[in-house]
Amino acid sequence: MSVEAIHFEHVVMNFGKVQALNDISLQIGQGQVVGLLGHNGAGKTTSIKIILGILRPTFGTVRVFGYDPANDVKMAALRKQMGYLPENLSFYPQLSGRETLQYFARLKGAGRQEQEQLLDEVGLLHAADRRVKTYSKGMRQRLGLAQAMLNQPKLLILDEPTVGLDPVATRDLYDKIERLKQQGTTIILCSHVLSGIEEHLDRALILSAGKILAQGSIDELRNQAQLPMTIHVRGKISNQDWLDKLSSQGVSTQRINSHQYILSAAVDRKLSLLQALAVENEIEDIEINLPTLESIYIHYNTQSLAGSDEPCKQGGNAR
Amino acid sequence: MNKVFVVAVKEFKDGLRNRWVAGITVVLALFAMAISYFGAAASGMVGFTSLSTTIVSLSSLAIFLIPLIALILAYDSIVGEEEQGTLILLLTYPLKRSELLAGKFAGHAAMMALSTLLGFGSAGILIAVFSEQVDLGELLVAYSMFIATSILLGWVFIALAYLVSVMSQEKSRASGVALLIWFAFVFVFDLLLLGLLVATGGAVGDDLFGWLLLLNPTDIFRLINLGGFEATQIQSGLASIADKQMIQPLVLWSSLLAWIVIPCLIAAWRFNKRVV
């Protein structure tokens, strides 16, 4: 059995009186692509810094490929296998793209050939000799990606990788992620840009206020959240009785005009509902919208807000 | 390749590219030439006069310029990297924080040494050529010592700049503190000592006074460079009060070195504790 890529056991991180992580336990297996989702201050970056060994947790155990990342002894060997793209990376303005990558490659012990190949892969070969000062945000981001992929890391951590990327570059990035995944690379994607990311994730972790609100595959999260799908119907719903009956079956209906309706219902009723729609009415077109990662994310966050009085009270009692 | 060396080479190349090295060299050379030419103006002459006058004038110049240049050069080395987002990245690379700091110090120290050597060195050659009354052998000894201590003085303030840099959260604040440090060592310290001397009516005693001078690296620099010249006492300010018999050259040199090593060690310690 191979060792887990990342293992957190009851990890607590305090900065003075502020609790950034509140009892986080999680496991990420090797070769998984995991999305770390949450808004600013949720604990994403703190978790990442702990994985990278930049921060030492206040309490709890952290293992990365079986080793303590904050321990100096194994540090060099471990860090050679990790790639990281931080948020807000602007690099050294006076160096060219090639020189920048060269500097980081030397620190990581990566070869010359690999540098050129990576510059090519991220599409910066033509601009490699220009100073980074003249780069656009997207180009800097791509240079950051090249840097993160030096040495073919076993663990790749990307913090907001798509910020500043145009749609084509974003697609290229996701393609690259798919390829790395085939090679067995463990990838952690941190993002609050949620659309487009979901199909690439094996698992998502939703963080809020230093706690894990929910974790699982997108399908599992969708089921747990029990969010409705919406069906956009164009055509004429001629069977008024059938329409009236729907609401008693837990399907909400909304009539936009005589020609358009929106139905929303639990996801597991999809097939029966579609069948009935097609058989009993004069339908021209149907559009089904399953709950997106975005709506799942919003669901869990509003839920936690509603229940957020509870931990505050507990905190008050403890003092 | 050794990680410390990689960082040092990058810093040094940056210095060449940003024209820091060229700029410092030219400034030091021009000021040194001008000062040594007009150094005797107070006594009614211009031109390259006696060796002691030249070294005294140059020392005052070095005390004024070198700390300022070193502080400006290095104050942002950590806090600046943090603002670029590269510090956190570097810390995830296989190098220790102390190695990063050591590499940066090596790079900056090499820049400062090269500029000082070229700047003051070129002025020295000019002095040697144009001065008629100065013994070349004596000039070589005194001037080499002057350049060597100038380099060490630069390193002292690079080390202090790192201390400022690792302890600051913002670049702007770091620059402010760096300027305060310069002001404190170059002006305020001597003024306070003088005040102490006057207020106590000289009762501080030569012994204590000499040791107090060791608390200011610029005074150590002055003591080393002026120590050899009896004739310079009038012009050497506070340093002339200290009993030269008491403070041996060895003590002075090792104090100057301590002023490099100790701030570096504290900076490394603080850097390790810094939450990034």
For residue range A152-168, what is the model confidence (pLDDT) as tens digits? Answer: 999 999 998 888 888 88
How far is residue A92 from each of residues A54, A103, A288, B64, B94, measured CA to CA in Å?
Answer: 21, 11, 48, 31, 19
Write down the mean pLDDT value for chain B.
87
On the CB side of A229, CA atoms within 13 Å amount to 19
Average pLDDT (B110-116) is 96
The topology under which CATH files domain A228-289 is: Alpha-Beta Plaits (3.30.70)
Q: Which helix (H) or strand (E) holds B6?
A: helix B3-17
pLDDT at residue A319 greater than cutoff 50: no
Q: Rounded to a whole number, what is the distance in Å from the CA of B64 to chain A's nearest CA?
A: 29
Q: Is A166 left (phi over 0), alpha (psi -120 to 50) or beta?
A: beta
Domains of chain A by residue range: 228-289
Write out pLDDT tens, residues A81-133.
899 999 888 899 999 999 999 999 999 999 999 999 999 988 899 999 999 99
Mean pLDDT of chain A: 85
What is the C-alpha separation between A44 and A70, in angstroms, rounded?
A: 18
Contact present, A279 and A273 (Cβ < 8 Å) = no
Q: How close does chain A come to B2, measured CA to CA in Å?
A: 8
Sheet holding A82-85, edge to edge: A82-85, A155-159, A186-191, A33-37, A203-208, A211-216
Residue B231 per-residue DSSP state: G
Among left, alpha and beta (phi > 0; psi -120 to 50; other), residue A23 is left
Contact across the interface for B93 and A91, Cβ inside 8 Å: no
pLDDT band at A303 (very low <50, low <70, confident <90, very high): confident
Q: Do B85 and A80 touch (CB under 8 A)?
A: no
Of B1, B85, B94, the CB nearest to A86: B85
Strands A203-208 and A229-236: unpaired
Hey, of B1, B93, B274, which one would you mutate to test binding to chain A, going by the most A CBs within 10 A of its CB?
Answer: B93
Is a pLDDT exceeding 70 seen at residue A259?
Answer: yes
Most A-contacting residue of B88, B97, B100, B276 (CB-CB within 10 A), to test interface: B88
Percent of chain A's residues with pLDDT above 70: 95
Q: Do A74 and A68 touch, CB atoms closer than 8 A?
A: yes
State the pairing for strand pair A252-257/A260-265: antiparallel
Q: How far is A55 from chain B (nearest CA, A)?
A: 7
- Contact of B3 with chain A, judged by CB distance below 8 Å, is answered with yes
- Residues B233-252: pLDDT tens digits? 555 555 555 555 456 788 89
ipTM exceeding 0.85, yes/no: yes
